[in-house]
Amino acid sequence: MAFPAAKQTEWPQLLAGKRIAIARDAAFAFVYPANLEMLAQLGAELAFFSPLADAALPDCDAVYLPGGYPELHLETLSANSALKADLQEHIEAGKPLYAECGGMLYLLDRLSNRDGDSASMLGLLPGQAVLQDRLCGLGLQQMDFPGGALRGHTFHYTRLETALEPIARAARASGAGSGEALYRRGSLLASYFHAYFPSNPIAAARLFLK
């Protein structure tokens, strides 16, 4: 299950006229560079923001919360109530939000680190996660999203507890058992799974469309 680059030099401009706000700072530092390039090739305008420092969400049509280490910034993320209100308003308006791994943890009711410190997060996805001493997820997987299948990987040390039923589960490239869960609540999609957008650009575009 390798990650070949998209072979086409031009793709349908499915995201033309769409502005995607993407979290990028010390808490949300993991994203495939090819994902950002792919979104731009699909016609999207990218606007970056910092959940750690910014009090407002950029004017946007969709939000992308990539992976990172929110458990290292619990107090700062929890205290940013202005941005929290903006993100809640974004979801209430029915606008797409796609979150993966660290981005998903930020959506939860609460997040705890290894030392037992805990803080409230956005409260947009029911449940909580606790950082573990051992790796909880690792390996290449493929996820069937509502808009099509995407290849990617998982790597995380947190354990998620939620009463929300997943809408899908990824297939693992090797080994027994099911892969990561995909959760939907309203207009948001979230998973521990890190999707590699060039593996299916059309499916990737649909993550950010109503």
Cα gap 128→107, rounded to integer Å: 9
Which position among 31, 42, 65, 101 bears the catalytic label? 101
Cα gap 171→156, rounded to integer Å: 17
Residue 169 CB-density burial (10 A; 0-12 exposed, 13-18 middle, 19+ buried): middle
136 part of the active site: no
Catalytic residues: 101
